[in-house]
Every structure is written in C-alpha cells, then in structure tokens.
Chains A and B, each alone.
Chain A
Amino acid sequence: MLYREAGQFKSSYAADQQIFPLRQDRIGMALLLVLAFVVVPLVGDQYWLSAILTPFLVFSLAALGLNILTGYAGQLSLGTAAFMAVGAFMAYNAELRIPYMPSLGSFVIGGLCAAAVGIVFGLPSLRIKGLYLAVATLAAQFFVLWAINRIGWFSNYSSSGVITAQRVELLGYDVVTPAGKYVLTLAIVSLMALAAKNLMRSETGRAFMAIRDMDVAASVIGIPMMKTKLLAFAISSFYCGVAGALYAYCYLGTVEPEAFTLELSFRILFMIIIGGVGSILGSFLGAAFITLFPIFLNLASKALEDALGMEMSHAVVSNTEVVIFGGLIIFFLIVEPNGLARLWQIAKEKLRLWPFPH
C-alpha cells in the first residue's frame, strides 16, 4: 500500500537513470542519511561508535573495493588485506615525511599507493584467470606483508614493526572523539560509495561486467582488455587502500602488519559472498552481517550460559562462530548466490504488492 510505483512515470531518460527511481526509496535514503549523520553521533554511546559502527564502515569500504574487482569485474582476489596494509602504512609515511600534509591527503596517497601495487599484482590477469589469478593475489598477500615487515622504512624503523597513527585533523580541527571519527569515516565512505555506484552504472561498470561474463565477446565489441582489467585492479585497490588508512587512523590507532593477514582477506570475501557479489548495497549488508554477528553470538552464548548455568570457553564460542560463517557461505551459495542484496530486492518486490500476495 505504501510502497507503490503507481503515478510515478518517468518522462525522461535522466529520470529513469536515477539511482533511486522510486520516490519512496529516495525518502527512505534521505531519512537514513539524516539518521546516520545527525542522530547517531549525538545519541550513540562511545562503545557503539568506536567498536561497532566505525569498523563496520571501514569494512564496508574494503568490501566495496573487493566487490568492484571480484563481483563486477570477475577477477577473484585473495589479497584484499595486503592492499589495505599498503594504504595504512603509506598514509602513515605520507603524513610523517611530507610536511604540511593534511590527513585527507595522506589517505588519498595511501589509496594511490595501494592502487599502484594493485596494478602490479593485477598484471597477471592479462594472461590468467579464475583460480590461477587467485594464486597471484595470494602471492601479493604474502609478499606485501613480508615486505612491510622486513623493510624498516615502512614502520619508520620501529623495532616491533608497529606504527601509531597520527592525529587526524580536518581543516584545522582535531578529530579525536569517537563521534568525530565516526562522522569522518561515514562521510568518506558515503562519498566513495556514491562514486562507485556512478562508476558501475556507467560505461566502466558495463565494461567490467562484460569482462566478467564473457571476455572474448567483450574484446570483439571493442572493450580494451588490458586497460579495463588493470583499471579494475587499480580502482579496487584504491578503495581497499583508503579503507586500510581509515582502519588505522579512525579505528585501531596503532597498527601492525599482523592486522592484515590472509584471514582478513577471507573475511572480506565472506562479506561480499553473503552480502551479494556485484552489488554496492551488498557490500554494506555483508559487512554489517559479519561485524554484528560475533556480537550477537556472544550475547546468545551468554544467555545460554545463564540459562544452563554452565560456562562456555572463549574457544568454543569463536569456533562456533567460524563454523556458522562457513556454513552460511555454503548456505547462501546454494540457496541465494546473490546474497542478502537479492533477498532485500525480493523483499521490496513483495512490499510493492503488499497487502496483496501477487
């Protein structure tokens, strides 16, 4: 009843091309943005802001980056964490070594360096695909981590390899409170998500999807293979690099190379599988799921402990979490390979008919 298209005719291509063609969607999005930008920072408590919402946003951005490469362009990557690491460490070095470098500038430099590394490790994609390409990205993952660990320059020759992110400042103001960091992260992530959406519904996005679906046909219609694949790696790695920088500056504070292991790469891959490959919304849904689920599980296990009067070791809980994640991956792949994003779409379609069944 509420969610109807009736009466909303599009009389121009411009109107048809909008990101949110339905008025109800536009209103919903506007409300969400107001909630996120204004209500949450005023009302939210420190723990939620700094330990849940900010990392959720950071991981959404990384998932977005991976989705661009794997979901849209079809190039499987297991090296996401390595690109994040490059972003974090290069942002640190940019801020450290370039005088008068503003924080946003060092984030961008972190992203650009990650993009460069992405291009280098994406070069094999010109000759190999699928699983073989995944191995190339594994090489990136292990090599980059080793390089950051061994080459002292990256961590400013600290003996432990740990770096402490400098203060973030924006137009002269120091961003130190959890609310401040949250809003900054939210702003950056929103803008980059918008840019990604624009990109994916333009020619670039079509070129990526063409390469994913049938690359021979893509080159027959004139799409340049090399340029397109490398662009996918570059843009994806840029997003992961900025996510890495945000990870260091707005969430963790102190960063060591061990924060960017293969397990993190897998985690982000899970986010896009569960959330939906080839979907911007899916990146957010998947990140939300994987960030919130352990918390939910903790609460559930505590409730169970209380109810049954026994204690469950931390190992049991974390192993259960791992089993459930793996199981969910398999479940989604069997039942709904397009993930939560598709389930959301189906829900909306049902809502359009509500209260009628069909």
Chain B
Amino acid sequence: MKVVLSVEGVSLAFGGVKALQDVSFDVAEHEIRAIIGPNGAGKSSMLNVLNGVYHPQKGTIRFRERVFQDMSPRRAAELGIARTFQNIALFKGMTVLDNIMAGRNLKMRCNFLQQALWLGAAKREELEHRRAVEEIIDFLEIQHVRRTPVGRLPYGLQKRVELGRALAAEPTLLLLDEPMAGMNVEEKQDMCRFILDVNDHYGTTIVLIEHDMGVVMDISSRVVVLDYGRKIADGSPDEVRSDPKVIDAYLGVAHA
C-alpha cells in the first residue's frame, strides 16, 4: 500500500475557534478514503487545508514524498489535486461545456495572441481539449445540457458538472466535499456509480466527505472520523462502525 498523501499533526485555528487539533492520517494510492463526523467537526476545513485554501498553524502535509508547509490552491491544482465544494462553486454565468473546459486550463499552452488570431495551434489545442471534455460529458451523462448556463440547472446536475470540472484536470487526487448532499436516491446511486468508475477507470485516489453512512460503507476502503477537530477513529468501514467512540459521537445506536 503506497501512501500518496499523509497529514501529520495538523492544527488549524481561526482566532479562538480550533477547527482542527493535531490531526494525522494517511491516504493510500488508488483508495477511496472517507472523512466523516458530526457537523462542525472540521471535515471541510481539513479538505481546505489539503488544497491550500487554509494554512494550518501547525503540522505538515506530505504529498507524493514532498513536504508542503504552504500550499496554495493554484499549487495544489498544478500538483494534480482537484476538488469539489459543499456549496457548489461553479461559474454560474458560463455554460456546462465552458465550465468543464475551464477545468482544462492548466493543460492549455497557447498564449492569448495565438488564441486571438485562432491560428492553427490555438484551434488544434481547443479542439483537442474539447474532445477530452466531451468524453467526460459522456461519462457523466450530461450531453443534453452541455450548452445550458449552469445557473439554470437543477442542483443534482450542477453537482455533476462540478465533478466534471474537477475530472477535466485529470487529477491524481480528488477531494469531494459532500458530493451527494441534497440528492435523492436515484441521483445518489448515479453519483456513487460515477465516483466508483472514476476510481476504477482512471485510478484516481479519492478523499470524500459524506454524511450518508450507507454510501460511506459501500464505497470507501478506509474511514477517518473527526469530532470537534480531533481524529477519534481511523480504519475500515466495519471497524469504524462498531467503534464505541464513533457511535457515541456520531452514529448513534439503532433502537430495537
């Protein structure tokens, strides 16, 4: 099991609020790692630390053997880390196609002059990336809305488009913040299928935050449990499910 990401002793505080306290865990290559816990446990903050939006006061992050003290979102993107957000962060004024194409920006080489003149190189590059994006659109089954402005789509489809934009960057590590939130059963099944396919087909390592325990148990290989900013459990889904600390803090007990 090769470790692709390891988090060591990360502490994050906002003024007096301690969002994360001395959290450590690792993520193996190609696995699906879930982070669960009650609201306010620091899950989103952890993801924000992983991709450089927040800077922890203490601790280090090791991605592919390299240690990072100060990650920035742009740096994270360049390293192959992509993510989705809890409250959809799509570009509402652009179409689905444009949003996903925007995800290809780090792979585009032509400068603005070439684009303005639409010379051979710029045209070829645009079409080549269009091809790649259309594969993602096919994969996520959103062909019918590709020219619709994203702001007009229903919530479930917007989440899919956001996943598409993250996939467009061909990431090695994908961070998903509650990808199923607000979806009905069918949409959740579709999303599970997509996530599993991405992991299977592209080999992408996935870290996801999720509240639906059924989903977590089904698709993740290992689970980290956070509570009040601290890690309280770490292991396989079954181990975590039967851990008394986790049951107390979060899962509860089924009443007979």
Question: Which residues of A come within 8 Å of B, CB atoms?
Answer: 13-14, 17, 195-196, 198-199, 202-204, 206-207, 209-210, 212-214, 216-224, 231, 235, 278
Q: Residues 82-120 of chain B: 1 if any A CB is under 8 Å from the residue's CB, otherwise 0?
A: 110100011111100010011111101010100111100
A224 to B102, CA, bound (A): 12
Determine whether the beta carbon of A13 is less than 8 Å from that of B131. yes
| Contact between chains at A222 and B122 (CB < 8 Å) | no
Q: What is the CA–CA distance of A11 and B78 in the complex, to the nearest angstrom?
A: 34
Cβ of B243 under 8 Å from chain A: no
Chain A CB within 8 A of B169 CB: yes
* Set of chain A residues within 8 Å of B26, measured between Cβ atoms: none
User: Which of A14, A198, A203, A223 is within 8 Å of B117, CB to CB?
Assistant: A198
Across the A-B interface, give the 7 residue pairs with the lowest CB-CB distance, nearest first: A222-B77, A217-B89, A202-B115, A213-B91, A195-B116, A222-B106, A198-B118
Measured CB to CB, the closest approach of chain A to B1, in angstroms, equals 29
Tell whether B245 is near chain A: CB-to-CB under 8 Å. Answer: no
Interface SS, A side: helix
- Bound-complex Cα distance A223 to B116 (A): 19
Point out which of A202, A214, A221 has the most chain B C-beta atoms below 10 A from its C-beta: A221
- CB of A195 within 8 A of CB of B117, answer yes
Question: Contact: A214 with B89, CB < 8 Å?
Answer: yes
A220 interface neighbour in B89, B112, B117, B134, Cβ under 8 Å: B89
Query: Pick the contact of B115 from A203, A213, A218 — CB < 8 Å?
Result: A203
Q: How far is the CA of A231 from the CA of B111 in the complex (A)?
A: 11
Contacts of A14 in B (CB 8 A): 123, 127
A235 to B51, CA, bound (A): 31
Indicate if the CB atoms of B98 and A212 lie closer than 8 Å.
Answer: no
| A206-B98, A220-B53 known; A13 vs B89 contact (CB < 8 Å) | no
**Closest A residue to B98 using CB positions:** A206
Is the pair A202, B51 in contact by a Cβ cutoff of 8 Å?
A: no
A198, A210, A231, A278: the one within 8 Å of B102 (CB): A210
Query: How far apart sit A219 and B77, CA to CA, in the bound complex (Å)?
Result: 9
With A14-B127, A213-B92 in contact, is A203–B108 under 8 Å at CB?
yes
- Closest chain B CB from A201 CB (angstroms): 8
In the complex, B141 has a CB within 8 A of chain A: no
Chain A residues closer than 8 Å to B89, beta-carbon distance: 214, 216-217, 220
Q: List 13 A-B contacts (CB under 8 A).
A: A17-B130, A199-B112, A202-B112, A203-B108, A210-B102, A212-B93, A213-B92, A214-B91, A217-B91, A219-B72, A220-B89, A223-B102, A235-B112
Decide if B73 touches A220 in the complex (CB within 8 Å).
yes
Q: A17-B130, A212-B93 are in contact. Are A221 and B102 (CB under 8 A)?
A: yes
Bound CA–CA A202/B105 (angstroms): 10
Find out whether the CB atom of A221 lies under 8 angstroms from the CB atom of B77. Answer: yes
**A338 vs chain B, min Cβ distance (A):** 10
Q: Within the assembled complex, what's the spacing in Å between the Cα atoms of A204 and B110?
A: 10
Task: Output the least CB separation between B97 and chain A (Å).
Answer: 10
* Pick from A196, A206, A217, A218: contact of B101, CB under 8 Å: A206
Within 8 Å by CB of B93, from A195, A213, A217, lies A213
**B152 interface residue per 8 A CB criterion:** no
- Chain A residue at smallest Cβ distance from B51: A220
CB < 8 Å: which of B74, B76, B101 contacts A224?
B74
Contact of B112 among A17, A204, A218, A223 (CB under 8 A): A204
Chain A residues contacting B51 (CB-CB under 8 Å) are 220
Q: How far is the CA of A204 from the CA of B123 in the complex (A)?
A: 13
Indicate with 1 or 0, residue by residue over B129-173, a CB within 8 angstroms of chain A CB atoms: 011001000000000000000000000000000000110010000
Q: Is B29's beta carbon under 8 Å from chain A? A: no
Inter-chain contacts of B131 with A (CB < 8 A): 13
The answer to whether the Cβ of B126 comes within 8 Å of any Cβ in the partner chain is yes
- B residues within 8 A CB of A218? 91, 102
A residues less than 8 Å from B123 (CB atoms): 14
Least CB separation from A217: chain B residue:
B89
- Bound-state Cα–Cα, A204 to B117, Å: 13
Tell me which of A196, A203, A214 contacts B105 (CB under 8 A). A203
| Cβ of B218 to closest chain A Cβ, rounded Å | 28
State A217–B73 Cα separation when bound (angstroms). 9
Which B residues lie within 8 Å of A221 (CB)?
77, 82, 102-103, 105-106, 165-166, 169
Check B108 against A209 for contact (C-beta < 8 Å): no
In the assembled complex, the CB of A16 is this many whole angstroms from the nearest CB of chain B, namely 8
Report A-chain residues with C-beta under 8 Å of the C-beta of B126.
17, 202-203
Q: Which residue of A lies closest to B75 (CB)?
A: A222
Supposing A198-B116, A198-B118, A204-B112 touch, asked if A220 and B83 sit within 8 A by C-beta, the answer is yes
- Chain A residue numbers with a CB within 8 Å of B104 are 203
- The smallest beta-carbon distance between B166 and chain A, in angstroms, is 8
**Complex formed: what's the CA distance from A351 to B91 in Å?**
30
Q: How far is the CB of A111 from chain B (nearest CB, A)?
A: 13
Q: Which of B46-81 contact A (CB under 8 A)?
A: 51, 53, 72-74, 76-78
- The CA-CA distance from A235 to B115 in the complex, in Å, is 13
Q: Which residues of B contact A235 (CB under 8 A)?
A: 112
- Residues of B within 8 Å of A202, CB to CB, are 110, 112, 115, 118, 122, 126
Q: A213: nearest residue on chain B (CB-CB)?
A: B91
A206-B105 in contact (CB<8A): yes
